[in-house]
Amino acid sequence: MFKFSKAIENEYFFVNLYHLNLNFSLRMATTTLNTPWVESPFFEQEIEQAGYDSATEELIRRYAEDGYVVFDPQIDGSVIDAVVNGLKPKFEAEHTNRIQDAWEYNDAVKQIAAAPRVLEVLKLLYRREPIPFQTLNFSTGSQQRTHSDSIHFNSIPERFMCGVWVALEDVHNGNGPLHYYPKSHKLPFYDLSILGLKGSTSKSIEEMLTKYYTRYEDFIAELVENKKLDKKVLNIKKGQALIWSANLLHGGEPISHAGSTRFTQVNHFYFEGCAYYRPMLTDMAIERISIQKVVNIATGKEVKSQYLEKDIDHIGYSYKVYLPAGLMRSLVPSGVRQWVKKLRG
């Protein structure tokens, strides 16, 4: 039987140990993380191994690097016209330029929110099933101050949320186009606690907006200036669309052409297998979290929040109440306390 010399045997052992460690490192480097793959620290290795055609790879890389991508959602022009014509009377009757969740009664709005090409691209970018859960329709530019959608909607794990902005007419510098800051999605997520504010003290989103939202917008404006972020303005044609990452900073430019319209539709998406919550009504550190009720626009069915594959009930604006044990015993009969314990269990 052939035998290695001691020196060769030792060298053979170390070489194999090296390959074992290398293979282990490669497996660790491509471990699937609970994060969008376009924001994963292993994205570069994964995209090289994915084998996409050059056009698809370029789209994915642009989104990973810049936090947004402009694309053709392949929505028929007749559907776009149906949205504009169908909602014009409502805009005028309600004296507003913003209508939320028109998908509930306007089928054309629903078709745009659940457009097959949009869902296809989102699944490509996030590698999970997309869930359209909200629509916003505008008749004129929003002129909204710069913000991140993550302050409005967020997920656990983080960043499984995005927006898709569809131009229902040509958008140009005069009619209040969208502005955005490329690469700003890579900044940390800043919730209200960084400003010393408690989100869970508000009873509704409206109360939170009134009390605290201006302070958040002021902070974002200061952040943009301090970081010297580069602003881009979106001029696109009717029928084109923009996908932006949850944490990308964006807003609306001023309307310089008085009386001009800017019909657009914004669709917000979550992704399967997450817990969905409202950060402006949440304080994680004291276990107060507003789990959002989510309905999938494409199916009309409620989607349960999940944490590590376990369903979480919708909480809404209800929070855990903390009382001293002695006071709790004096206020709540023991039978009720036992029943609550069983229910929570």
Assign residue 199 the CATH number of its domain: 2.60.120.620
172 and 274: one domain?
Answer: yes
**345 residues of the chain, pLDDT tens digit each:** 444 444 444 443 333 433 434 343 334 444 578 899 999 999 999 999 999 999 999 999 999 999 999 999 999 999 999 999 999 999 999 999 999 999 999 999 999 999 999 999 999 999 999 999 999 999 999 999 999 999 999 999 999 999 999 999 999 999 999 999 999 999 999 999 989 988 888 777 788 788 888 999 999 999 999 999 999 999 999 999 999 999 999 999 999 998 899 999 999 999 999 999 999 999 988 889 899 999 999 999 999 999 988 888 766 543 333 334 444 444 445 555 555 555 554
In this prediction, residue 338 carries a pLDDT of: 59
A 10 A CB-CB count for 108 gives: 22
- For residue 304, the enclosing domain spans 63-312
DSSP conformation letters of 18-70: HHHHHHHHHHHHTPPPSS-GGGSTTHHHHHHHH---HHHHHHHHHHHHHSEEE
23 shares a domain with 152 = no
**147 and 220 co-located in one domain:** yes
Q: Are 166 and 19 found together in one domain? A: no
Q: What's the pLDDT score for residue 309?
A: 87
Sheet containing 98-100: give its strands across: 68-71, 241-245, 161-167, 264-271, 130-138, 98-100
37 in any annotated domain: no
Let me know whether 26 and 175 are in one domain.
no
Structure token pair of residue 300: 């009309």
How much is the pLDDT for 318?
Answer: 38
In a domain, 318, yes or no: no
Predicted confidence at residue 336, as pLDDT, reads 54
pLDDT for position 314 = 63
Q: How far is CA 114 from CA 52, 130, 191, 283, in A?
A: 24, 9, 29, 32
Residue 324 domain-assigned?
no
Q: First vs last Cα of the chain: how many Å apart?
A: 65
- The answer to whether 137 and 128 have CB atoms below 8 angstroms apart is no
User: Are residues 16 and 87 located together in one domain of the fold?
Assistant: no
Residue 40 lies in a domain: no
Domains in the chain, number: 2
For residue 312, what are the contacts with CB-CB under 8 A and spacing of at least 6? 275, 291, 304, 305, 306
The one-letter amino acid code at 293 reads K
Q: Do 83 and 15 reside in the same domain of the chain? A: no
Please tell me whether residues 23 and 73 are part of one structural domain.
Answer: no
Per-residue pLDDT, 315: 61
**Under 8 Å between Cβ of 134 and 267:** yes
| Ramachandran class of 117: left when φ > 0, alpha when ψ lies in -120 to 50, beta otherwise | alpha
Together in a domain, 130 and 215: yes
For residues 18 and 94, state if they share a domain: no
3 and 136 together in one domain = no
Return the structure tokens found at 15.
Answer: 């070489």
Measure CA 309 to chain center.
19
| Domain annotation covers residue 320 | no
Q: What is the pLDDT of residue 342?
A: 54
Do the domain assignments include residue 331? Answer: no
In this structure, is residue 55 part of a structural domain?
Answer: no
Cis upstream peptide for 41 (omega within 30°): no
Helix ranges (H only) for the chain are 6-29, 43-50, 54-66, 77-94, 107-113, 116-126, 205-208, 214-227, 325-331, 334-344
Residue 36 domain flag? no
Distance (Å, rounded) from C-alpha 31 to C-alpha 37?
Answer: 11
Q: Residue 129: how many CB atoms within 10 A of its CB?
A: 15
For residue 343, the model assigns a pLDDT of 52
Strand partners, 268: 134, 163
One domain, residues 113 and 176: yes
Q: What is the pLDDT of residue 169?
A: 96
- Give, for 241, the enclosing helix (H) or strand (E): strand 241-245
